[in-house]
Amino acid sequence: MIVHDRWRRAAKTTGAAAVGLILLIWSLAPIYNMLMIALDPDEGEIEFDGNIFPPDPSLGGFQDALSQEARYLEEFWLQFGNSVLIGLAAAALTVLVASLAAFALSRLRRGRGTLLGNLGLLSYAVPASCLVIPLFGITHGYGLGDSRWAVIAAQVAFAAPFAVVILLQYARLIPLELDEAARLDGASAAQLYRHLYLPLMLPALAVVAGYALVIAWNDYVYQFVLLVSQRHTTVSMMQGQLFADTDAPWNAMMAAAIIYVLPPIAFFLVIARYVASNLARSGAAERTRIL
Amino acid sequence: MIREMSGGEQITGLPPLAIGPRWRGGRSAPLRRGERAWAVAFIAPYAAVFLAFAGYPLAVSLWIGSDPGLYRELFADRYYWLAAANTVLFAGIGVNLQMGLALLLSGFFLQRRWWIKPLLVVFVVPWFLATVQAFLSFHWMLIGEYGLIDGVLQQVFGIEGPNWFNYYWLALGGNIVAFAWKWLPLWTLILMAGRLAIPGEVYEAAAIDGAGGVRRFFHVTAPLVANLYLVCTLLATIWAVGDFATAYFVSNGTPQHMTEVIATLSFRYAFDDARPAFGIAAAISALPVLIPVALLLMRRLRKGGVQL
- Chain B residues close to A128, C-beta within 8 Å: 242, 244, 263, 283
| Residue-level length of chain B | 308
The per-residue pLDDT for B23 is 41
Q: Which amino acid is at B9?
A: E
Q: Which of residues 198-237 of B touch A (CB under 8 A)?
A: none
The per-residue pLDDT for B179 is 96
Question: Which parts of chain A register pLDDT below 50?
Answer: 283-291
The per-residue pLDDT for A150 is 95
H/E element holding A254? helix A250-281
Residue with the bigger pLDDT between B95 and B303: it is B95
Residue B199 CA to its chain's centroid (Å): 28
- Chain B residues close to A183, C-beta within 8 Å: 30, 32
The per-residue pLDDT for B144 is 75
Q: How far apart are CA A35 and CA A23, in angstroms?
A: 19
* Contact status of A140 with chain B (Cβ, < 8 Å): no
* Contact status of A290 with chain B (Cβ, < 8 Å): yes
Q: How far apart are CA A73 and CA A214, in angstroms?
A: 23
Q: Quote the DSSP letter at residue B306.
A: B
B258, pLDDT greater than 70: yes
B246, pLDDT greater than 80: yes
Q: How far apart are CA A252 and CA A70, in angstroms?
A: 6
Instruction: Name the residue facing A131 among B58, B64, B126 (closest C-beta).
Output: B58
Whether the bond between B255 and the residue before it is cis, its omega within 30 degrees of 0, is yes
User: How many other CB atoms are there within 10 angstroms of residue B122's CB atom?
Assistant: 16
Nearest Cα residue to B43 out of A189, A215, A264, A246: A189
Chain B interface test: which of A96, A133, A211, A233 (most B C-beta within 10 Å): A133
Q: Which tens digit of pLDDT belongs to each residue from B261-284?
A: 999 999 999 999 999 999 999 999
SS3 content of chain A, % helix, strand, coil (to 5): 75, 0, 25
* Contact status of B163 with chain A (Cβ, < 8 Å): no
**Percent of chain B residues past pLDDT 90, beyond the cut:** 49
pTM score of the predicted model: 0.85
* Contact status of B5 with chain A (Cβ, < 8 Å): yes
- Chain A residues close to B56, C-beta within 8 Å: 138
Q: How far apart are CA A139 and CA A127, in angstroms?
A: 19
Could B16 and A110 be called an inter-chain contact, meaning their C-beta atoms sit closer than 8 Å? no
The per-residue pLDDT for A153 is 96
Could B238 and A26 be called an inter-chain contact, meaning their C-beta atoms sit closer than 8 Å? no
Q: Which of residues 209-228 of A touch B (CB under 8 A)?
A: 210-211, 214-215, 217-218, 220-221, 225
* Contact status of A263 with chain B (Cβ, < 8 Å): no
- Min mean pLDDT across A129-143, B119-133, B211-225 is at B211-225
* Contact status of B101 with chain A (Cβ, < 8 Å): no
Q: Which amino acid is at A58?
A: S
Residue with the bigger pLDDT between B238 and A268: it is B238
Q: How far apart are CA B228 and CA B304, in angstroms?
A: 8
* Contact status of A31 with chain B (Cβ, < 8 Å): yes
B13, pLDDT greater than 50: no
Answer for the pair A170, A105: CB distance below 8 angstroms, yes or no. Answer: no
Whether the bond between B16 and the residue before it is cis, its omega within 30 degrees of 0, is no
Q: Which tens digit of pLDDT belongs to each residue from A33-57?
A: 999 888 887 765 555 566 777 777 8
- Min mean pLDDT across A146-160, A188-202, B55-69, B144-158 is at B144-158
Answer for the pair B189, B4: CB distance below 8 angstroms, yes or no. Answer: no
Measure A277 CA to nearest chain B CA, in Å. 9
Q: Quote the DSSP letter at residue B146.
A: G
The per-residue pLDDT for B256 is 85
Report residue B232: phi and psi, to 5°.
Answer: -65, -40
For helices A128-141 and B276-284, give the axis angle rounded to 10 degrees. 140
Nearest chain A residue to B101 by CA distance is A23
- Of the CA atoms within 13 Å of residue B193, those in its CB half-sphere come to 31
Counting one residue from A and one from B, how many pairs have CB atoms under 8 Å apart?
A: 339
The per-residue pLDDT for A272 is 73
- Chain B residues close to A240, C-beta within 8 Å: 132, 249
Nearest chain A residue to B192 by CA distance is A290
* Contact status of B252 with chain A (Cβ, < 8 Å): yes
Q: Which of residues 15-74 of B touch A (CB under 8 A)?
A: 15-16, 18, 23, 25, 27-32, 34-36, 38-40, 42-43, 45-47, 49-50, 52-58, 60-62, 64-65
Range from A276-285, B158-167, B209-218, B296-305 that averages highest in pLDDT: B158-167
Could B13 and A156 be called an inter-chain contact, meaning their C-beta atoms sit closer than 8 Å? no
Q: How far apart are CA B119 and CA B111, in angstroms?
A: 12
Could B150 and A50 be called an inter-chain contact, meaning their C-beta atoms sit closer than 8 Å? yes
The per-residue pLDDT for A281 is 56
Instruction: Name the residue facing A176 among B14, B29, B293 (closest C-beta).
Output: B29
Mean pLDDT of chain B: 84
